Amino acid sequence: MINKKILIVEDEVKISDIVKAYLEKEGFTTTVAPTGQKAISLLKERYDLIILDLMLPDMSGEDICQVVREDSDTPIIMLTAKSDEDDRIHGLGIGADDYVVKPFSPRELVARVKAHLRRVKGKKDTSSFNSRDLVIDPLRFEVRKNDITVILTPTEFKLLQCLSEHPGQVFTRLQLVNVILGYDFEGYDRTIDAHIKNIRHKIEDNQKSPSYIKTVYGIGYKFSGQADAD
């Protein structure tokens, strides 16, 4: 948890001081923003997690949440004095990952901060390419082409996953055989061609001029989709 940067957006100095002290004791680096405007100006920096007070003098935590969600999925823990259920659900509905109702125990808040950071670390994100034209979801073994789920066989999925994880790298057919089988298997080259043909059929707009899996003549294949920014 060392070197993790946390933004604390809170106008009550008493609260931000306590939260800051507890987090820094755990080795986190913290920045405090007492207003919404200040928070938004700080968002140019990357933070690993944001603690966000719902009631700020100049704007609401929800508004900031929406600004954050426009271009990042940084975990947000909302601090709220309102405890009725509608507000909680609303808070989560607009993109907060968690909420803590005031008054809260700083220890509990620190525990939640750690839990969210662990979750981010363990999360294997989906990869998307060519402006989300192609999305590969390794947890669900799912591929979406133009928002429509396409069914790949486990072998096809493994091949596509391997190629897309190493964009631009040329793989020989034999290497790809190893990806599928985990060992050398002579004479299997043509089967790779058949699998590649099937994958192309499922994910390419034009199979004669593929955007994702290109043939490198005499050698093998490479992935040439453009990974989307996070």
76 pairs with which residues across the strands?
50
Per CB under 5 A, does 133 bind Ca ion?
no
Interface positions, 37-66, toward Ca ion (CB under 5 A): 53, 55
Site stretch for Ca ion (CB under 5 A), options 5-13, 19-27, 118-126, 168-176: 5-13
**Which of 1, 5, 11, 101 is close enough to bind Ca ion by CB under 5 A?**
11
DSSP string of 57-82? Answer: SSSBHHHHHHHHHHH----EEEEES-
Measure the N-to-C terminal CA separation of the chain; round to a whole number of Å. Answer: 22
Q: How far is the CB of 53 from Ca ion (least distance, A)?
A: 4
Site stretch for Ca ion (CB under 5 A), options 3-11, 18-26, 176-184, 215-223: 3-11
Phi-psi region of 168 (alpha: psi -120 to 50; beta: other; left: phi over 0): left
Minimum CB distance to Ca ion smaller for 58 or for 71: 58
- Please tell me the number of Cα atoms within 13 Å of 8 on its side-chain side: 24
Q: How far is the CB of 57 from Ca ion (least distance, A)?
A: 7
Q: How far is the CB of 206 from Ca ion (least distance, A)?
A: 55
Q: How far is the CB of 23 from Ca ion (least distance, A)?
A: 18
In the complex, residue closest to Ca ion by CB: 55
Minimum CB distance to Ca ion smaller for 60 or for 161: 60
Site stretch for Ca ion (CB under 5 A), options 9-17, 42-50, 126-134, 211-219: 9-17
Minimum CB distance to Ca ion smaller for 53 or for 133: 53
Minimum CB distance to Ca ion smaller for 50 or for 199: 50
Q: Is the dihedral of CA 47, 12, 104, 20 positive or negative?
A: positive
Q: Enumerate long-range contacts of 164-169, CB under 8 Å, 24 or more apart.
A: 164/127, 164/129, 164/136, 164/212, 164/223, 164/225, 165/127, 166/223, 167/222, 167/223, 167/224, 167/225, 167/226, 167/227, 168/222, 168/223, 168/224, 169/222, 169/223
Q: Which residues contact Ca ion by CB under 5 A?
A: 11, 53, 55
